[in-house]
A and B are shown apart, each in its own frame.
Chain A
Amino acid sequence: MSEHLSALIVVLPLLAAPVCLLLRQTRMVRAWTSIVAWACLCMALTLLERVHTGGVITYAMGGWDPPLGIEYRLDALNAYLLVIVTAIASVVFPSGVILTDTSLPEGKAHLYFAALLLCLAGLLGITSTGDLFNVFVFVEITSLSSYTLISLGKNRQALTAAFSYLVMGTIGGTFLLVGIGFLYQVTGTLNMNDLALRLPELLGSRTILAGFAFLMVGGSIKLAVFPLHQWLPNAYTHAPAAVSAFIAATATKVSYYLLARIIFTVFGAAFVFDALHLHWLLMPLAIAAMFAGSLAAVFQTDLKRLLAYSSIAQIGYMTLGLCMASETGLTGGIVHLFNHALMKGGLFLAVACVVMRTGSSSVNAISGLGRKMPLTMAAIVVGGLSLIGVPGTAGFISKWYLVVGALERGWYAVSVLILLSSLIAVVYVWRLVETAFFGVPEHEVCEVPWTSWLPTWILIGATLVFGIWTDVTVGGASAAARALLGVTP
């Protein structure tokens, strides 16, 4: 049983999704999805523990040995990602705001939960598999279920947002498929580790270069790297708030993992950065994302859209960590991935609480709510401080590592730019604080029930805890960075 854990963590939510259709009653389906998410979290924690003590776990799917069969391969990075994804799922799924803001017809909620579980299964699949074609299949499972989830938003704009995400996402997924095809054509294998062994002697080939380009562009569309981010603000704005919380905290993180895996494990940092100089392309884009995302966030009048633009900026920080290709830089990127998942998940849940009470997600909706909904507003303030990177919050830790990573590489200008762009975050966070605590109340509302504020505070509280107690996050991330760079600890 226990040796099958790495397959079971993907199979469980996949098989649990159809069970939702049998249970039908909203209350039972809700309990069921939460139990599945918690079970996955337990498995992920066990796997992380096992990877840290016993090294890489490989699992031959169906007993077919790699490279012919599909291999599930967990190292310090995948196991870390599995914990993030399942932790977010197990907080968001049971949350009281999960159905807020949706346009579900009466008695159809079980389908929504089935889509959530499928999305979770896809994300966990991308993370654990060691086979490139399998990655494509799971990317599509994730994408298809997230189109469905996004289209369930309350406003009709959710439909057009989901449609344009579908078009962009399918193009991105198909680009990944073309890239995988090019690699397969030259090497005759789909297994990532086998590819890593066979690629070095073929790296000059134009087919490989074209394959690499297709994989990078496909992955960047999924990650929403600036300027390929156009689908993201609309999708996050119009999706149900809880779905935004789940997708913002997990889907882009898993795409980030995929890019890192392709760059470092499959092609190797030497080829990508020393021969192709990818960082001279990615770094300006990352910096542009940091500024454009933050600046756009300042001018938004909708809370969810504000957070979505801030997500683009945060993706910029993570990509910057990727470009540094050093242990400190990658650690910064991966820790930021963890911390951003916590704070963006928490902030979107807090917005979901606001929507639950006021029925609107505009910035004016929180006017004067500081007294009416103190817990929710405090969550927004703490989450916002963490976005800025104030010491004592998790955001500070990751930015610290990024700045140190930039200094180590001698990129002094970049470290200044990281700090400057954080200052822009002060502006949009202050706008929220000012509206919430100094505005005139527009709505006669009371605090949300504990089932709604508790999940928000679990995530927001975690950003405070991991802002001070960094052993777990930074330790796990630097182990992951070492695994990526192929350094033995």
Chain B
Amino acid sequence: MEALGIWNYWGVVLLMMIGLYTVIARDHLVKKLIGLGIFQVAVILFYVSMGKVTGGTAPIIPEGADGSEVYSNPLPHVLMLTAIVVGVATLAVGLALVIRIREAYGTVEEDELQRQNRAGS
């Protein structure tokens, strides 16, 4: 039962595997990018749930605090702001590449792209 108690990590691993599977198994490039996005979001959730302290509130010290307040660890949350930006930038570059691939090949299906690449070279 101990293993079930850390259900947040199970969720993270499940999402990660869904993402990775989508990247590997799908031929459509946009679907691959979506899978990549899910994969990254799983890691973001991993960090966010890591910072959560049971019974903790937002990490803001109220007036008249006596030091006994329990609050979540803000650092992993802050780190994830950066990781989200990285994820968005990756997605943007990826989608831009997909648009250019579509212009150059007329398709975004990977097996078709490989066929054209082989025929071309």
On A, residues with C-beta under 8 Å from B are: 133, 136-137, 140, 144, 147-148, 151, 156-157, 159-160, 162-163, 166-167, 170-171, 173-174, 177-178, 181, 184-185
Q: Contact at A171–B23, with CB atoms within 8 Å?
A: yes
* CB neighbours of A181 from chain B (8 A): 43, 46-47, 50, 76
Q: Is the CB of B50 within 8 A of A185?
A: yes
Give the residue name and chain of the B residue nearest to A151 (CB): B97
* Contact for A167 among B36, B76, B105, CB less than 8 A: B36
A160: chain B residues at CB < 8 Å are: 101, 113, 117
Q: Let me know if B43 and A174 touch, CB within 8 A.
A: yes
Question: Can you give 20 A-B contacts (C-beta < 8 A)?
Answer: A133-B82, A137-B86, A140-B89, A144-B89, A156-B105, A159-B97, A159-B101, A159-B105, A160-B113, A163-B94, A166-B90, A166-B94, A170-B40, A170-B90, A171-B20, A171-B39, A178-B43, A178-B46, A181-B43, A181-B50
- In-complex Cβ contact of A133 among B40, B79, B117 (8 A): B79
Residue of B nearest to A302 (CB): B121
Say which size band chain B's interface belongs to: 20 to 34
The complex places the Cα of A136 from the Cα of B43 at a distance, in Å, of 13
Chain A contacts for B89, CB-based, 8 A? 140, 144
Q: Closest residue to A150 on the B side, CB-wise? A: B97
* B15 interface hit (Cβ, 8 Å): no
Minimum CB distance partner of A156 in chain B: B104
Residue of A nearest to B73 (CB): A188
Chain A residues touching B, majority SS? helix
15 additional A-B residue pairs with CB within 8 Å, beyond A147-B97, A184-B50, A184-B76 = A140-B86, A144-B90, A156-B120, A157-B120, A159-B101, A160-B113, A163-B94, A166-B90, A167-B32, A167-B36, A170-B36, A181-B43, A181-B46, A181-B47, A185-B50
**Whole-angstrom distance between the Cβ of B22 and the nearest chain A Cβ:** 11
Chain B 69-83: CB-based contact to A (< 8 A → 1; otherwise 0): 000000010010011
List residues of chain A with CB within 8 A of the CB of B17. none
Known contacts A163-B98, A167-B36, A174-B40; is-contact A140 B47 (Cβ 8 Å)? no
Contacts of A137 in B (CB 8 A): 82, 86
Chain A residues positioned under 8 Å from B86 (CB to CB): 136-137, 140, 173
Residues of B within 8 A of A170 (CB): 36, 39-40, 90
Least Cβ–Cβ distance between B103 and chain A, in angstroms: 9
Assess whether A166 is in contact with B93, with CB atoms less than 8 Å apart: yes
A321 to B47, CA, bound (A): 35
